[in-house]
A and B are shown apart, each in its own frame.
Chain A
Amino acid sequence: MQAVFKKRSILPGFWPSFSYTTLYLTLIVLIPLSAVFLKSFSVTWAQFLRSVTAPPVLAAYRLSFGASLVAGAISTIVGFLVAWVLVRYEFHGKAIADALVDLPFALPTAVAGIALTSLYTEGGWLGRYLTPLGIKVAFTPLGVIVALIFIGLPFVIRSVQPVLEDADQELEEAAASLGASRWQTFYKVILPMTRPALLTGFALAFARALGEYGSVIFISGNLPMKTQIAPLLIVAKLEQYDYAGATAIAVVMLVTSFLLLLGINGLQRRSARFLERAR
């Protein structure tokens, strides 16, 4: 049994805390997820393949994964910027700005979806200026991305903020005094320090976006082959009492996102190790 673990920790309380972790993960994560898998096994392999490779389903996967990746990437860049401003600058209303960041966490997503849709439709506050420019947001894949950025942004900000707060400003000053340009300071000092946190934020925002339903169905328009997200197809399948088909779509999403998250976590561990060595 000992061989299973990397090395024996000298910290006391390993077994109680490890057992609790295992129990918790099993009850909260593994059992519900196994139920999903078991349900999808109630069909034959051929039926499973047919469910998950039907053209509308493939189109929905493309939209869900594509929009979530793009939204995650944009959230990461913008989120970094917001975190930087919140940590490094002093300004009036900073406390309010800081509290505003968490609001998308608390808002029921349907409310967010309805509000965003009203803003971006042709007659909406923003939509009326965008439409003459030929930019359509509501009821297009762009609208899906906008909604996903909205719900994903806080994850990045809250991941990066503490790291920036802990960062030694002397390091930047040292870089500058050694003749580094501002870009070099950013690229060689700040970015490596925050990279693990940025990756975490990206992973969280991406994963959240992938499962998002409430806000997206209002702004996407739900046109088959064009703006239907995968979770909507799951609901449509349930509506036909096709539980196995619904879980088949879910299983593909679960496995794909698990692999993606595993990859991101790997990247993150690597940059964290790199950081350890640099110190």
Chain B
Amino acid sequence: MKLTTLLTSSVTVIFAAGAFAAGPVKLLNVSYDPTRELYQNYNAAFAKYWKTKTGVDVQIAQSHGGSGAQARSVLDGLQADVVTLALAYDIDVLAEKGKLLPANWQTRLPNGSTPYTSTIVFLVRKGNPKKIKDWDDLVRPGVGVITPNPKTSGGARWAYLGAWGYALKKNGGDQNKAQDFVKRVYKNVPVLDAGARGSTTTFVQRGIGDVLLAWENEAFLAVNELGKDKFEVVVPSISILAEPPVAVVDKVAAKRGTTEIAKAYLEYLYSEEGQEIAAKNFYRPRSEKIFAKYANQFSKISLFTIDELFGGWTKTQKTHFADGGTFDQIYTPGA
């Protein structure tokens, strides 16, 4: 079976450094793609904190992949003590289909169990030759927009909803006008890569398109790593507040006897140190104090949430991304 090989091989497991003393407690954090650097830093910090506090060594393994694929692995039996995924829908599925954690999991930690947030911004070529300033510029003829396929990429769903939300707010909540606007954006999309990293490659390495709709943290990472002389981040007037949630997988943690430490692991994300690590990795911290400290890094932008405009993930998934949803309608001939 080709597919399963692909899925398992895309899951890379990296063991956190340190804490290799005899019989350390082992924890598996199943996460999505762009959090690799964030959790490498955080795991080291948490291991140190936990050792000082309790004297127990903890060894944290990370697994990264597409958010949906990762959730499916856990659903199929991957022994994840905690999951830190791109959207609440993927954890909802673990609760609904797998009964691995209670349905009200989002109420167990502050801020709807999302210790850090991000948003969708635009990455453009140096000097912004096409003068792309806001969502309106994406529908201009001749502007190439690069974004992954929302059917296969969690990040792409946030971008899609960002465009939709912008048009909703601009047109006084008119859903038809919003749908028309999003349709015009996707008319300018020449390639729909399967995942967010694929789109970044298309835009950065192949030089295709004029603007990449990207996670804020990915956009900053791209600019910092590939050179400020090649790309610029453009922040639109308004965008969506992307809330990547975290949760303890109760059933697995109970079985492995790691409930206490798994809980502490997620709670520490809200601590000053945890928040600071998030900010350093270009995630917007929830803590106002830390946010103020890094304020010049995050541009001021008006953000709307998915609950405000779309009524939560389960409903959004059904309306927009399920078969026959608004995304499919864009490509239905004659519609």
B331 close to A241 (CB less than 8 A): no
In the bound complex, residues from chain A placing their C-beta under 8 Å from that of B208 are: 121-122
Q: Flag whether A218 is at the interface (Cβ < 8 A).
A: yes
Q: Which residue of A lies closest to B331 (CB)?
A: A224
A236 close to B151 (CB less than 8 A): yes
Q: Flag whether B287 is at the interface (Cβ < 8 A).
A: no
In the bound complex, residues from chain A placing their C-beta under 8 Å from that of B324 are: 54
| CA distance in complex: A221, B198 (Å) | 10
Chain A proximity mask over B170-192: 1 for CB below 8 Å, otherwise 0: 00000000000000000001111
Stretch at the interface among B25-33, B103-111, B222-230, B315-323: B315-323
**Distance from A149 Cβ to chain B, minimum over Cβ atoms (Å):** 19
A221 close to B332 (CB less than 8 A): no
* A56-B6 contact given A139-B190, A221-B190, A241-B97, CB 8 Å threshold: no
* A221-B192 contact given A211-B2, A238-B68, A241-B97, CB 8 Å threshold: yes
* A118-B194 contact given A231-B3, A241-B97, CB 8 Å threshold: no
Q: Flag whether A240 is at the interface (Cβ < 8 A).
A: yes
A223 close to B6 (CB less than 8 A): no
| CA distance in complex: A15, B180 (Å) | 68
In the bound complex, residues from chain A placing their C-beta under 8 Å from that of B328 are: 56, 224
| CA distance in complex: A55, B332 (Å) | 8
Scan residues 230-264 of chain A and give those whose CB is less than 8 A from a CB of chain B: 231-232, 234-242, 245
Q: Flag whether B193 is at the interface (Cβ < 8 A).
A: yes
Q: Flag whether A117 is at the interface (Cβ < 8 A).
A: yes
Q: Flag whether B141 is at the interface (Cβ < 8 A).
A: no
| CA distance in complex: A222, B190 (Å) | 9
In the bound complex, residues from chain B placing their C-beta under 8 Å from that of A38 are: none
In the bound complex, residues from chain B placing their C-beta under 8 Å from that of A237 are: 323
Q: Which residue of B lies closest to A51 (CB)?
A: B323
Question: How many chain A residues touch the partner (CB < 8 A)?
Answer: 35
| CA distance in complex: A240, B330 (Å) | 18
In the bound complex, residues from chain B placing their C-beta under 8 Å from that of A118 are: 205-206
B93 close to A236 (CB less than 8 A): no
* A213-B151 contact given A54-B323, A122-B208, A221-B191, CB 8 Å threshold: no
A240 close to B323 (CB less than 8 A): yes
In the bound complex, residues from chain A placing their C-beta under 8 Å from that of B66 are: 239
B72 close to A238 (CB less than 8 A): yes
A117, A121, A218, A239: residue with the most chain B Cβ atoms closer than 10 Å: A239
**Distance from A136 Cβ to chain B, minimum over Cβ atoms (Å):** 10
Scan residues 174-223 of chain A and give those whose CB is less than 8 A from a CB of chain B: 211, 213-214, 217-218, 221-223
| CA distance in complex: A213, B189 (Å) | 22
Q: Which residue of A lies closest to B324 (CB)?
A: A54
Q: Which residue of A lies closest to B67 (CB)?
A: A239
Q: Which 7 A-B pairs have the closest CB atoms?
A: A224-B331, A236-B151, A221-B191, A239-B68, A222-B192, A121-B206, A217-B194
Q: Known pairs A121-B206, A221-B190, A239-B151; list 4 more (Cβ under 8 Å).
A: A117-B206, A235-B152, A236-B149, A238-B3
Q: What are 10 inter-chain pairs, A to B, with CB distance below 8 A?
A: A121-B207, A213-B2, A214-B6, A221-B192, A222-B193, A223-B331, A238-B3, A238-B72, A241-B97, A245-B323
